[in-house]
Structure 1
Amino acid sequence: MDSLSDRVRQFCSQNHLKLNKDLGQHLLIDEGILDRIVTAALIKPDDHIIEIGPGIGILTAELLKKAGKVTAIEIDERMIILINEYINQNNESTNQRINELTIINQNALTTEFPSKSYKIVANIPYHITSPLLRHAFLESEQKPTSMTLLIQREVAEKICDEEDSGMLTILVNLFGKPQVVANVPPKSFLPPPKVDSAVLHIDCFSQPKADTETIEEIFRLTKAAFGQKRKMLRNTIGAFPRGGELLSSLGIDEKRRPQELSLEEWIALAKKSKEHVQDDKS
């Protein structure tokens, strides 16, 4: 039997498919990594999987073998017909389950996610990593129970690095526990990207670590602080009305930089900031 790489190359050649670099299209052709993604997602027979950017359906076919239902959201209209064709040509065991697949030709960042339990499993275009995480965690009424994403390695490692955090680190860790489960070299893709990749699994909490108002305040503060992340907190948070008082009341050294603060400290800052706002109003 031909390898996955051979089958994908042949399929693309037969269909005269040119991948769109502007859409970040890189097809996964590494069977080992494909297995790691599916294994990491812990898919159960009754799970509803949301796949974003399915391309020709390489991961889609594997998801159909495990999940009760798969919804694939694809922005490139050319791929819609090709997904069914690829699955029919290459996966006999999946053909019987093709009715469990729904394909939506939309931008995932503006698509409303399901109102009932679902998991996100996807090899996504790397440039939508941040907006997708914001859409899933901040804009969607029902949050995913988990996310398993193939993304840029540097971004995946940053999300997991609580010692040198960024805004994505804070966002993801408010809503779940992230873990890098596999590193992926460029040769695992067609065409190879210019960067290394990684499989990131996020086990989402049943409830975020803070309430909605506190989360909104966290991002008001972090937007100011990380907008000038080389500056000390006294020059960012400290520049707010009562900002210096806010930092000192929690024993946070104003000489520290935003990436040095823990998630718990950002939550405490946001709660105290809300108290100050209420005090000023009364």
Structure 2
Amino acid sequence: MTQDALLGPSDIRELAAALDLRPTKQRGQNFVIDANTVRRIVRAADIGPDDAVVEIGPGLGSLTLALLGAAGHVTAVEIDDVLAAALPATVAARLPARADRFALVHADALRVTELPGPPPRALVANLPYNVAVPVLLHMLATFPGLERGLVMVQSEVADRLVAPPGSKVYGVPSVKTAWYAEARRAGAIGRTVFWPAPRVDSGLVSLVRRDPPPTRASRAEVFAVIDAAFAQRRKTLRSALAGWAGSAAAAEAACEAAGVAPTARGESLTVEDFAHLAESRPTRGGA
């Protein structure tokens, strides 16, 4: 792929002007204008010619073009009408030899349940700040063939996604991500590589798919106890899980059956602990 194929600051602004595009905060639109940054992301994602990649929120195509230069196939999911209409033309103009390896899905990523082309093995995306966590969790849940991912998110969200139990920022995103994957920080991204420049720094998070904890409980049941535990995170599990279990006494019994201290708080539990709790939830009739 030639240097000219990638988008620079002037290219981005020219495309935006031609489309009469004004990035909106509502959709978390901050476009990457630095070619070195998208190359770095593709390298960190370890994308090769055998990979089918799904990208969320491709925007004007900065990362899309870099991914197409390395991957076997790229499917981009874009909700914005103007951007979705323009991206295929940008790909055709910049990388005509690879245009047949590109597919666009014009949809809300949170509602996507199937994708054209080969099943994606990797998720690589500059996720819109306002929906980063729900989109990530939806994609991991909906496409079990995703073996790995590299996402760019707001720096504090990156911290939450990779936080271990006991950390001050450990919470629902941390535990639910751990259900699907091992997450780690893969670098920091400054504000100046975006247009418009956000008011916060960004971080890269690397994800490698893992098997969920062995449990008789369903994912929905495990996620329900996670939500309950962190809804009142300052309370002990005996109190925080009272509504989930049916009473404080039933919550205490569930904790004891799961081998978890009723006096503990949600931020000290692993995803395996939550799976054990979900298994130990009393039936409504017996609580």
TM-score between both structures, scaled by the size of structure 1 = 0.87
Give distance in 2, aligned partners of 1:222 and 1:155.
18
Give distance in 2, aligned partners of 1:280 and 1:45.
56
1 or 2, which has the higher helix percentage? Answer: 1
**1:210/1:113 Cα in 2 relative to 1: closer, same or farther (>3 Å)?**
farther
The unaligned stretches of length 5 or more in structure 2 are: none
Q: Deviations over 1:170-218 (max 9, x none)?
A: 111111111111111221210011211111111112x322457342222
Corresponding residue for residue 232 of structure 1 = 236
Which 4+ stretches in 1 moved above 6 angstroms? Answer: none
1:173 matched to 2:188? The reply is no
Cα distance, 1:47 vs structure 2: 1.5
Secondary structure, counterpart of 2:36 in structure 1:
helix
Corresponding residue for residue 277 of structure 1 = 283
Give distance in 2, aligned partners of 1:71 and 1:175.
22
Aligned residues: 274
| Structure 2 contact 217–275 (Cα < 8 Å) conserved | no
Corresponding residue for residue 152 of structure 2 = 150
TM-score between both structures, scaled by the size of structure 2 = 0.86
| 1:3-18 superposed matches below 5 A | 4-18=8-22
Q: CA RMSD in A?
A: 2.5
Corresponding residue for residue 19 of structure 1 = 23
Amino acid at match of 1:264: E
Give distance in 1, aligned partners of 2:65 and 2:53.
12
| 1:123-202 superposed matches below 5 A | 123-138=126-141, 140=142, 142-162=144-164, 163-164=166-167, 165-202=170-207
Q: Deviations over 1:104-144 (max 9, x none)?
A: 21111111134834321111211111221231233x16341
Cα distance, 1:10 vs structure 2: 3.2
Cα distance, 1:261 vs structure 2: 1.4
**1:62/1:228 Cα in 2 relative to 1: closer, same or farther (>3 Å)?**
same
1:65 matched to 2:73? The reply is no
| 1:236-255 superposed matches below 5 A | 236-238=240-242, 240-241=245-246, 242-255=250-263
Secondary structure, counterpart of 2:262 in structure 1:
coil
Cα distance, 1:278 vs structure 2: 10
| Structure 2 contact 233–267 (Cα < 8 Å) conserved | yes
Q: Deviations over 1:21-40 (max 9, x none)?
A: 22111101223321221112
**1:217/1:181 Cα in 2 relative to 1: closer, same or farther (>3 Å)?**
same
Cα distance, 1:169 vs structure 2: 0.8
